[in-house]
Chains A and B, each alone.
Chain A
């Protein structure tokens, strides 16, 4: 068997293998970066790379595609191409259209597949291979929490995209992570007064909830907010995220004595459950002498499009809508519409705003160092990005701004006017203490510059 090996051959291969084994031990220390700079992926040369990690396949692919459009637009504007969009309306005037700190902005994209694992792999390759200094995007709270954790460990900034769970800036908050989008608590706080006005104080609600972090926190928030105005909660039923037919969940609602159905669903889930509910005739029903109502706390134009006519008259909340009248929104809708031929979704707006906010923070900090950038963002007040006056709170890295309460249009003039704004809830009404019980249990930790 082994007698065919000559002594010389064995020595040679042995020495080779030994040298190979010893090779990695020559290098010591933890360097996830070109050293010397003191932080991960310090930009070298005349360009800086941002990583946009969005779902390109899977249930949230529509949102992901729109986010990517917004990112591309933001990069164009930062590099001084196009009409500049919201840079001209942004309250901070540091952005000159010459990239970030004079460095041309380049970007890489990846597919999160709406899976924590795949999203982390994609973000890791951006950081390790492409040298991305900031990661942004995402359209699911599960993914946002996972990628935020990764960015904290790797020492880069994470600018969350569409993520609505309380946990993102609550129990799972991280020093390197920032969220511009609103959250479930804010939805509840904004919706409750409108619901009271529309449907009265004496109501009994039945919740159907997507069974994951976002669904749980949203259900908790809505239940707390509606119970505060005197509503009763009859039941809360958790539905699997992969569910496509909700008939078996809707049927028990009919005889439960509830007169409001709250659908804590998003995307395709919400389209299906709402369609089922309407098919069961819930909206024509009278319970306890009142019209039966359906509420969808988190709304989006893309979902409204999917649900078609069924959406008419149904109340929910949004982070932003392209029909707002402020200067920032107008400028953004103008340049987005010119480039792509249709108005942007709220996912696009939050991603665009996050990119500008990051660029501006770097300019103000005069450094790409994540710790300096985080410091520049913390407690920062700005205006002109479509949401009115906004504060990036230092305690939990959550943006505080007005929240929109919206309703499905009864007679939409075209497919872009499916949603009408009922009320703009002022920021004061949706603000909460950083140690609010729904957000307790986590800590930012300290900023990690990596390297």
Chain B
């Protein structure tokens, strides 16, 4: 169906179901319970899940499939965001032109950077991309401030010269991003008993775009082009000796993944019209590498899982503070309570990086294939006879030379 075999199509359906039902799935605890702290079903975080999912899917095409580790992918995300916000400022608050421009600009940007960087492979390639990304970051941060507004970030204001649309609404506010009139921030709350489920327009737009992006990624993985990319990952030299020029293929993969990143950046700006330079910093580039490895590089669903995992930690664990902990452990005797809280608080709140780092170490040590491998192992436990191929048909091992 849709040009996919049964296994891939099932995977697509599962992902589609997860995306559509996310407001329910991510909100398992009643709003007034103590566990509500762990609910992730609010629009902003759900949007981030799918947007960074797109980012990681695109990165995986380059890293997981082609074997080029780019340390500068955040640059494309940032370029996408800036283009989208400029589109809002100059043309219209409709998100479609903004997203299209974001993809095009980041694609062109990726073409230029890729053309230079792909002359080298391995660590040299990584360093080149890192250098370009840091260059872009510094340009955005301090040199091109008329275009990027520097550290403050590019925002829409009350006196933007918007060609299609108004500079300010009748009530004197800044107009909001929309899809042909459907406001991106519009949210409907469904109250069922103590649960409050939030359905957000922007989230569903991102979700649908993510499904399309995911579908395209499956098609690329399964196409002859994808096979060529796998071949580059397996042994580029051998491919060269057979008379094939691999660079156009690698460049194509680089541009595609750059456009994915630009799409993610454009969507970020569409959900929240602000573009900050720190989106392009090397930490942001490193984050997508972590997402991909944590979830499972080279697998279809892995990057999305990894993106969700990291964003969950960043947004949920970082908000557990001392007084919340005291609430949890109040049943303990006082001395013990303070002790437990003292230990725990280093792993939550500002210490969320520590918890994430520990988990990352555990995953890399015991599950080199990422969380997807963990899932497969679990499934294998229940299903005695594991199939010869991995459930999502990815992560095929290539023989060494």
Contact = CB atoms under 8 A, between A and B. Distances in A.
A57 B153 contact: no
A116 B153 contact: yes
Given A56-B349, A124-B272, A24 B42 contact: no
Given A446-B172, A446-B173, A117 B278 contact: yes
A241 to B, nearest CB: 7
A164 interface: no
Contacts of B389: none
A334 B16 CA distance: 58
A128 B173 contact: no
Contacts of A241: 141, 151
Contacts of A177: none
B9 interface: yes
Interface string A151-180: 011100000000000010000100100000
B204 interface: yes
B20 interface: yes
A7 interface: no
Contacts of A145: 152-153, 155
Contacts of B45: 125, 129
Contacts of B314: 118, 121
A352 to B, nearest CB: 17
A433 interface: no
A17 interface: yes
Interface in A91-149: 108-111, 115-118, 120-122, 124-125, 128-129, 141-142, 145-146, 149
B20 A21 contact: yes
A287 interface: no
- Which of A23, A34, A153 is the most central at the interface, judged by chain B CB atoms within 10 Å of its CB? A153
Contacts of A56: 318, 349-350
Interface string B271-291: 010101011000000000000
Interface in A281-329: none
A117 B276 contact: yes
A153 B42 contact: no
Contacts of A27: 188, 190, 199
Contact of A117 (B6, B142, B201, B279): B279
Given A30-B183, A57-B350, A125-B44, A24 B152 contact: no
A252 interface: no
B43 interface: yes
A129 B6 contact: no
Nearest to A33: B189
Nearest to A126: B319
Nearest to A10: B1
Contacts of B17: 16-17, 20
Given A27-B188, A29-B188, A153-B174, A146 B153 contact: yes
9 interchain residue pairs of minimum CB distance: A27-B188, A212-B151, A446-B172, A56-B350, A20-B20, A124-B44, A116-B276, A129-B42, A30-B186
Interface of B: 1, 4-6, 9, 13, 16-17, 20-21, 39, 42-45, 48, 138, 141-142, 150-153, 155, 157-159, 168, 171-174, 176, 183, 185-190, 198-199, 201, 204, 208, 272, 274, 276, 278-279, 314-315, 318-319, 321, 323, 349-350, 353
13 contacts: A1-B5, A2-B1, A20-B17, A31-B189, A32-B185, A57-B353, A108-B319, A118-B314, A121-B44, A125-B42, A212-B142, A212-B152, A213-B152
